[in-house]
């Protein structure tokens, strides 16, 4: 029984390692392609402003959450 569990564990570990290696190698390709596309195209000012507004909104939500959690559980 222990031998079967060891074999199963080795198979699972090998599968995980193979999947991680595949993800890393495909990720490098995607990063290279994204870098090439980023060099070619510059974002429009309207898109940058929309992104800034979205980031500010998320930042405000995060800060409000921290304040509420602190008030509820710390004070």
pLDDT at 2 over 70: no
pLDDT digits (tens, 9 = 90+) for 16-74: 777 766 666 666 566 677 777 777 778 889 999 999 999 999 999 999 999 999 988 88
What is the C-alpha to C-alpha distance for residues 71 and 65, in angstroms, rounded to an integer?
10
The continuous run of DSSP H or E covering 55 comes out as helix 45-73
| C-alpha atoms less than 13 angstroms from C-alpha of 2 in its C-beta half-sphere | 0
The whole-number pLDDT of residue 37 equals 74
The tokens describing 68, both together, are 């509420």
* pTM (global) more than 0.85: no
């Amino acid at each position: 029984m222990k031998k079967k569990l060891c074999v199963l564990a080795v198979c699972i570990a090998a599968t995980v390692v193979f999947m991680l290696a595949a993800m890393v190698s495909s990720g490098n390709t995607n990063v290279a392609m994204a870098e090439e596309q980023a060099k070619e195209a510059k974002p429009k000012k309207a898109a940058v402003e929309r992104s800034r507004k979205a980031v500010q909104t998320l930042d405000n939500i995060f800060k409000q959450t921290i304040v509420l959690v602190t008030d509820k559980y710390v004070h």
